[in-house]
C-alpha cells in the first residue's frame, strides 16, 4: 500500500504517539530520580540497592514490588548501644502525627515511648552524626533532608498499629516523608516484628539492621502498600530508630 494512505497515516500516528508516551514516561522517571531544581529529593529504591554495597552495606531484598530491603550491617553494636543510652533519659509517650506533621496526639494505636535526639548534646554526639551521615550516603540525599533521629522503645505489650509514615496533607516546607529507614537497635523477640500487612511481610528485629522502603509511588502519590505496624514484644524490650527522608530540607 502506498505511503500516505489512510491506514498508513494511522499507523504512523500510532507509532508517534507510542514514542511520545515512552519519552514522557522516561522524562517523568528522570524527574523523580534527579534532584529537582528546588533541591527536592524522591525515593529511589534502585539507587539505594545499588549504592548499598559501594557504601559497605549489603542489601537483602525482602519484597520486590514495592521494594523493601534490609541492610544487616547498617549500624555496629557500639553505635546501637550509644543511641539507646542517649535515648533512655529522653523517652516519653509516643505521639501519632495528624494529617500534617504539626498535629501530634497520644493514641491507643501507638503505645510505645519515643526519644527525639534533636537537641545538643544528643544531636551533636558522634554516634548521632555518624548515623545521619551513613543514612545520607545510603539514600544519596543531603543530611539536611533527614528528620532528627527518633528512637522508639517497646516494652512488653506496647505496640504501634498499622499506619503510614507519610502525611495526608502536607503544608510544611519540608514536604513529604518520601522514604523510611527503620533501624533495629537490639535483638528483640521475633513477635516484635515490623509487619507490612499488604505485602505479607514481617521483619524480625536484629541489632544493626536497617529496613528501607518508599512511602510514595513514582508519581508522588501515597503508596498504601507501605502501611506497616510495630508489633509488641511479649517479653524483653525492643529498641528501634526512625530515619525519615523528606522531599526538602527539614527545618531543625
Ligand atoms: O516498631 C516498628 O517495627 C516500626 C515502627 C514504626 O513504624 C514507626 O515508628 O513509625
Q: How many residues are there in the chain?
A: 252
CA 203, chain centre distance (Å): 15
Please check whether residue 30 lies inside any domain of the structure.
yes
Do residues 80 and 130 make contact, with C-beta atoms less than 8 angstroms apart? no
Please check whether residue 140 lies inside any domain of the structure.
yes
pLDDT at 152: 98
Q: Which residue in the block uniquely carries the three cell numbers 514484644?
A: 233
Please check whether residue 224 lies inside any domain of the structure.
yes
Angle between helices 126-139 and 45-54 (to 10 degrees): 120
- 119-140: b (≥16 Cβ within 10 Å) or e: eeebbebebbeebbebbbbbbe
Best residue among 161, 240, 243, 244 to mutate for probing ligand 1, ranked by most atoms within 8 Å of CB: 240
Please check whether residue 252 lies inside any domain of the structure.
no
Show Cβ contacts of residue 201 under 8 Å, excluding neighbours closer than 6 positions.
62, 63, 68, 195
HSE (side-chain half, CA atoms, 13 Å) at 210: 27
What is the CATH classification number for the domain harbouring 18? 2.60.120.620
Residue 113 pLDDT > 80, yes or no? yes
Higher pLDDT, 113 or 23: 113
Q: Is 116 left (phi over 0), alpha (psi -120 to 50) or beta?
A: beta
pLDDT at 96: 86
Note the pLDDT tens digit of each residue in 58-98.
999 999 999 999 999 999 999 999 999 999 999 999 988 76
Ligand 1 pocket, CB under 6 A: 152, 160, 165, 182, 194, 228, 230, 240, 242
For strand 96-97 and strand 238-246, is the pairing parallel, antiparallel, or unpaired? Answer: unpaired
- Total domains in the chain come to 1
Please check whether residue 144 lies inside any domain of the structure.
yes
Domain residue limits at 41: 5-246
- Which residue's alpha carbon is nearest to atom 4 within ligand 1? 230
pLDDT at 105: 85
77 Cα–ligand 1 center, Å: 20
What is the model's pTM?
A: 0.84
224 Cα–ligand 1 center, Å: 16
In DSSP notation, the chain reads: --TTSHHHHHHHHHHHHHHHHHHHHHHHHHHHHSPPTT------HHHHHHHHHHTT--EEEEETTTTEEEETTSS-HHHHHHHHHHHGGG-EE--EE-SSTT-EE-BTTB-SEEEE--STTGGGSHHHHHHHHHHHHHHTS-GGGBPPPEEEEE-TT--EEEE-SS-SS--STT--EEEEEEEE-S---GGG-EEEGGGTEEE---TT-EEEEESB-TTS-B-GGG-EEEPPPSSS-EEEEEEEEESS----
Please check whether residue 251 lies inside any domain of the structure.
no
Please check whether residue 127 lies inside any domain of the structure.
yes
Question: Chain-wide mean pLDDT for the chain?
Answer: 86
Note the pLDDT tens digit of each residue in 17-51.
443 333 333 334 433 444 455 678 888 899 999 99
Average pLDDT over residues 192-213: 98
Handedness of CA 59, 63, 189, 134 (dihedral sign): positive
Please check whether residue 35 lies inside any domain of the structure.
yes
Amino acid at each position: 500500500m502506498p505511503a500516505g494512505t489512510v491506514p498508513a497515516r494511522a499507523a504512523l500516528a500510532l507509532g508517534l504517539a507510542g514514542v511520545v508516551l515512552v519519552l514522557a514516561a522516561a522524562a517523568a522517571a528522570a524527574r523523580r530520580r534527579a534532584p529537582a531544581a528546588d533541591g527536592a529529593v524522591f525515593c529511589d529504591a534502585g539507587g539505594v540497592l545499588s549504592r548499598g554495597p559501594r557504601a559497605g552495606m549489603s542489601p537483602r531484598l525482602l519484597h520486590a514490588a514495592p521494594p523493601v530491603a534490609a541492610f544487616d550491617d547498617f549500624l555496629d553494636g557500639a553505635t546501637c548501644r550509644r543511641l539507646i543510652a542517649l535515648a533512655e533519659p529522653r523517652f516519653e509517650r509516643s505521639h501519632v502525627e495528624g494529617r500534617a506533621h504539626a498535629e501530634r496526639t497520644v493514641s491507643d494505636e501507638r503505645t510505645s515511648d519515643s526519644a527525639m535526639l534533636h537537641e545538643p548534646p544528643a544531636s551533636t554526639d558522634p554516634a548521632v552524626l555518624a548515623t545521619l551521615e551513613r543514612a545520607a550516603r545510603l539514600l544519596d540525599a543531603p543530611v539536611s533532608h533527614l528528620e532528627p533521629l527518633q528512637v522508639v522503645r517497646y516494652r512488653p505489650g506496647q505496640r504501634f498499629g498499622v499506619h503510614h509514615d507519610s502525611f495526608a496533607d502536607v503544608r510544611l516546607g519540608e514536604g513529604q516523608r518520601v522514604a523510611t529507614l527503620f533501624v533495629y537497635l537490639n535483638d528483640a523477640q521475633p513477635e516484635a516484628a515490623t509487619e507490612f500487612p499488604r505485602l505479607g511481610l514481617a521483619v524480625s528485629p536484629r541489632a544493626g539492621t536497617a529496613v528501607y522502603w518508599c512511602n510514595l509511588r513514582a508519581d508522588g502519590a501515597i503508596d498504601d502498600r507501605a502501611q506497616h505496624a510495630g508489633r509488641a514484644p511479649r517479653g524483653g524490650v525492643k529498641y528501634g530508630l526512625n530515619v525519615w527522608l523528606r522531599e526538602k530540607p527539614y527545618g531543625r
